[in-house]
Amino acid sequence: MNIIIGSDHGGYELKCVIIEYLKGLNHNVFDAGTNSREACDYPDFAFKVAERVAADPSSLGIMIDGAGIGSTMCANRVPGVLAATCNELYVTRNAREHNSANLMCIGSQVVGPGLAKKLVDVFLGTKFEGGRHVRRIDKILGYAAGAAALTESVISTVIKRVLEAVSTPGRQPAVSGADDKSVTLISEEYVKNNCSDGSTLVVKKGTPVTSLALDMARAKGVTVSFE
């Protein structure tokens, strides 16, 4: 199974333990950071994990911070992600069986390595029951998609004006195409890997753009154009 895992500085040590445990079970593991005990902000890494999970429906995510709550709040901001705080076995099983959670958040100050491994086992080994729960999950994802579309419509004009205001007059930058139907989310990694400095990123209407992607665009001098 493809597992995306991340942590802040408080969850770093437990993350290292879980990574080794997952590799021992022959899972494919991608470490989204952080890579040290140096203080950092959990949203940066929770968003990275969530964005990768959203981009790969065959994957599951694990995010570790102090309590597991803040990262859950962050991850659930990303369209397509159903994150749950999983510090207890019953809740973890329920999150998968009834809620089809695809990302678990663990609190390193709440559970130790032994329980954390059991929680991971339950999360990865439990299947979604379907049935009556499908209707409820559809409502959650449907609301999230509508909110994302509304957010895009509100911020698109503002972003265009800001980026146009700081662009160099007369400049004719190259265009990075994000209008391909296969692109379902513009993430920080997408901008980093696909947009050259000073280019223009054309975003197809309805395609969600994360806040980290916009930060990366500004850092690279990329103009974001919403169709």
Mean pLDDT of the region 128-146: 84
Which has more pLDDT, 144 or 85? 85
Summarised one tens digit per residue, pLDDT across range 172-186 is 444 455 545 566 678
Nearest in space to 213 (alpha carbons), one of 188, 196, 190, 194: 188
The Cα–Cα gap between 71 and 83 comes to: 9
Partners of residue 105 on adjacent β-strands = 63, 85
Would you name the residues annotated as active-site residues?
98
Question: According to the model, what pLDDT value does residue 148 have?
Answer: 58
What is the pLDDT confidence band of residue 217, given thresholds at 50, 70 and 90?
A: confident
Q: What is the largest CA-CA distance in the chain?
A: 61
Share of the chain above pLDDT 70, in %: 81
What angle in degrees, to the nearest 10, is found between the helix axes of 113-125 and 89-97?
Answer: 20
Would you say residue 212 has pLDDT above 90?
no
Q: Is the pTM of this model over 0.75?
A: no
Per residue in 103-133, is it b (16+ CB within 10 Å) or e — as a string? bbbbbbeebeeeebbebbebbbeeebeeeee
Between CA 107 and CA 86 the distance in angstroms is: 8
Given a cut of 90, is residue 112 above it in pLDDT?
yes
Q: How far is CA 129 from CA 126, 133, 134, 141, in A?
A: 9, 7, 9, 17
Residue 103 has pLDDT above 70, yes or no: yes
Q: Does domain 2-129 have CATH number 3.20.20.140?
A: no
pLDDT at residue 33 tops 90: yes
pLDDT at 200 over 60: yes
Q: What is the pLDDT of residues 43-86, one digit of tens each?
A: 999 999 999 999 999 999 999 999 999 999 999 999 999 999 99
* Residue 12's pLDDT band (cuts 50, 70, 90): very high
**Residue ranges of domains in the chain:** 2-129, 156-226
Q: What integer pLDDT is reported at residue 207 of this predicted model? A: 80
Cα separation, 203 vs 183, in Å, equals 9
